[in-house]
Amino acid sequence: MNSPDRKPRLLIADDEPLLRAELRESLALLWPEADIVAEASDGFEALRLAREMSSDVAFLDIRMPGLNGLEVAKAFAARTHIVFVTAFQEHAIAAFEEGALDYVVKPSSPARLARTITRVRERLGTPPPDLSNFMQKIQDKPQKKAQSPAWLQAAVGNTIHFIDLSEVIYFCAELKYTRVVTDKIEAHIRTPLKELADTLEEAGFWQIHRAYLVAVKRIASVNRDADAALWLSLREHSARLPVSQRYQYRFKGM
């Protein structure tokens, strides 16, 4: 149980730097008396930092490299209050019903995050619930594979366009939005690139960078530059897209 004079210590864990920065800025604005003592980009780092920094509250993305948010929450046992920050509501809502502090669906709105902070403050004086049994049940449960959408609703200014998925050349993460590029238009959706990557691989899209998801059928060639970086050239499109080291395994012949 925390001393009333001690500032709450917060940990943020998300492998998307832009979303992590957005959450950090929102928490600093909405909960200025709390200390954000650590930020992690994967589950192993989150677990290590939470132990080292004795965090009171962990804001965990459910889908992270290494250990995912559910595994991290299970490892925390009853030492840390958990708030899930995720693009996927199913597990977060279920965990909330079982005693997790709260969940926020990203991109989070200030009003929703403010309600979460209110709940956190109310429960900081009590021991965190032990979610380990619940997390084990979630991990043991077979997961349904998300279906790829046939089309997308994307905005250009005040106009909503219906875009056939087969027409998309690539997606690009941009701040709070994801840019959708076709031969005819460029539009924006609010679905995070990470969520698209999880659902569109079977539809023929590869993630090649934390900011890029490309239709494999539109890849014309892959070139290595003088700095040993890989770049994709596209069929009938002038864009060149970077391939980060994490995804170079897709091009083993290079």
Q: How far apart are CA 37 and CA 53, in angstroms?
A: 7
| Same domain (yes/no): 104, 184 | no
**Tokens representing residue 24 in the block:** 């950090």
For residues 152 and 163, is the Cβ–Cβ distance under 8 A?
Answer: yes
Domain around 199: 151-251
Q: How far apart are CA 136 and CA 223, in angstroms?
A: 44
This prediction has a pTM of 0.56
Decide if 145 is inside a domain: no
User: Last residue of a domain, which of 115, 140, 165?
Assistant: 140
* Tens digit of each residue's pLDDT (9 = 90 or more) over 27-59: 999 999 999 999 998 888 998 998 888 889 999
DSSP 3-state of 56: coil
* Tens digit of each residue's pLDDT (9 = 90 or more) over 58-112: 998 887 777 778 788 778 767 888 888 876 555 555 556 555 567 787 667 788 8
| Same domain (yes/no): 233, 157 | yes
User: Last residue of a domain, which of 140, 161, 193?
Assistant: 140
CA angle 208, 65, 47 (to 5 degrees): 155
What is the crossing angle of helices 132-140 and 89-98, to 10°? 140
What's the CA dihedral at 123, 124, 125, 130 to 10 degrees? 80
| Same domain (yes/no): 135, 155 | no
CATH code where residue 237 lies? 2.40.50.1020
CATH code where residue 113 lies? 3.40.50.2300
